[in-house]
Amino acid sequence: MNPLTETQPIAAAADQETILFVLTPKEQELFLPHARLDRISGHDCIHANPETLNPARWEELLRERRPTVLLSAWNTPPVPTSWIESGDMSLRYLCHITGSVRGVAPRALLSRGVRITNWGPTIIHTVAEHAVLMVLALLRGTPAWPAATVSGKYTVELMPVLRTRSLRGKRVGLHGFGAVAREIVALLKPFQVDFIACSQGVPRSLFEEHGVEPCDNLDALFSRSDVLIECESLTTQTQGSVTARILNRLPHDAVFVNVGRAQVVDEDALIRIAAEKRLRIGLDVYHQEPLPPDSPLAAIPGLLLSPHIAGPTWDTFSCCGDHALENLRRYLNNEPLSGLVTAEIYDRST
């Protein structure tokens, strides 16, 4: 049950908090459709529409109202560094409904002891599902289906064009072994595939716990993968680590899917390889988003491009909101928070 419904407002905590909700009307409709954000007994609630806030007014609002809790989403403006570094900074908890907090929370907030949460594990399964969807779609040649459907050709004539392949028995490589990668392993086990993976700083025991063979480097991972799923986090060490040389290690006709971070991959090299049509490529992330209409990627036939939708599905937006409100309830009642963003997690996010 949503912890802030009309019939079940949060009870008062020991100390009064000033809670600032900074959401657009659309964000509130998506994430918190049934929440009563004006009924938190014993606490001061303030509402602001980020669409009406310029930087000066935003900082003025923070200094005037001195919020101790900020509930934010995609369109919430960044907390001003000048306020964070001042003696007026009152914030103790930033409850972010969505994913990466970098757009709202400068790292200095962590240094000031502010607790930060995001949607945490709420959408791990949707990203993993999207990766599996793209892998299967590419193996079955779906980018060519519309033209093939109206071609008037029979199955035996279409097979050399579509080159459909089965997933069963393939070797699936994972670049990255965080929560999403581990969920992908769970989803793909019924296909009787073999798993290999490479991820910076992951102990060998964690790979083995999930029945995955660790690879020591990207050369070995890519050269041995029939299907390669990119889901590594972005750090200074991983940025651009998937170079042209690494991509060319993939076998001919291998599948390459990126549901992680675009900047891990050399996109110019990927464009050149895609134009050669020697790989089956599916992308959900791009160096520039939205993908410009004149992007070379948009002009290459056979690619499977999705508009960065591996995250929350339509039916899980409210789950993300419920997760945030449950964290707010926990904070007000001095209970442990879920999806806590540590300095390490912050540094690995984008």
Give the residue from 253, 313, 303 showing the smallest Cα distance to 283. Answer: 303
Give the residue from 73, 61, 64, 69 showing the smallest Cα distance to 40. Answer: 69
pLDDT at 207: 97
Sheet strands (E) in the chain:
18-22, 44-48, 69-72, 93-96, 115-117, 171-175, 194-198, 213-214, 227-230, 255-258, 280-283, 304-305
Assess whether the previous peptide bond of 160 is cis (omega < 30° from 0): no
Q: What is the value of pTM for the model shown? A: 0.86
Helix (H, G, I), strand (E, B) or coil at 311: coil
CATH tag, 123-305: 3.40.50.720
| Residue 73 vs residues 3, 52, 191, 226, 263: alpha-carbon distances, Å | 18, 15, 37, 38, 23
| Residue 50 vs residues 28, 37, 62, 107, 146: alpha-carbon distances, Å | 12, 16, 13, 21, 42
Exposed, middle or buried: residue 49 (CB in 10 Å: 0-12, 13-18, 19+)?
A: middle
Give the residue from 42, 43, 41, 34 showing the smallest Cα distance to 6. Answer: 34
pLDDT at 346: 86
pLDDT at 95: 98
pLDDT at 235: 85
Sheet strands (E) in 69-114:
69-72, 93-96
Q: In the numeric block, which tokens belong to residue 144?
A: 């060519």
pLDDT at 350: 61
Exposed, middle or buried: residue 274 (CB in 10 Å: 0-12, 13-18, 19+)?
A: buried
CA distance 324 to 261: 24
H or E stretch covering 331 = helix 317-332
Beta strand 44-48 pairing with 69-72: unpaired
CA distance 21 to 75: 12
Q: At what angle do helices 124-139 and 179-188 cross, to 10 degrees?
A: 50
Would you say domain 18-119+314-348 falls under CATH 3.40.640.10?
no
- Domain locations in the chain as residue ranges: 18-119+314-348, 123-305
Query: Which portions of the chain are predicted below pLDDT 50?
Result: 1-14
b/e per residue 173-208 (b: at least 16 CB within 10 A): bbbbbbebbbbbbeebeeeebebbbbbeebeeeebe
Q: In the numeric block, which tokens belong to residue 238?
A: 């991983």
Where do we find the tokens 């599902």? Answer: 129
CA distance 101 to 116: 8
pLDDT at 12: 39
User: What proportion of the chain, given as a percentage, has pLDDT over 70?
Assistant: 95
**Contact indicator for 122, 316 with CB cutoff of 8 Å:** yes
Give the residue from 106, 131, 126 showing the smallest Cα distance to 116. Answer: 106
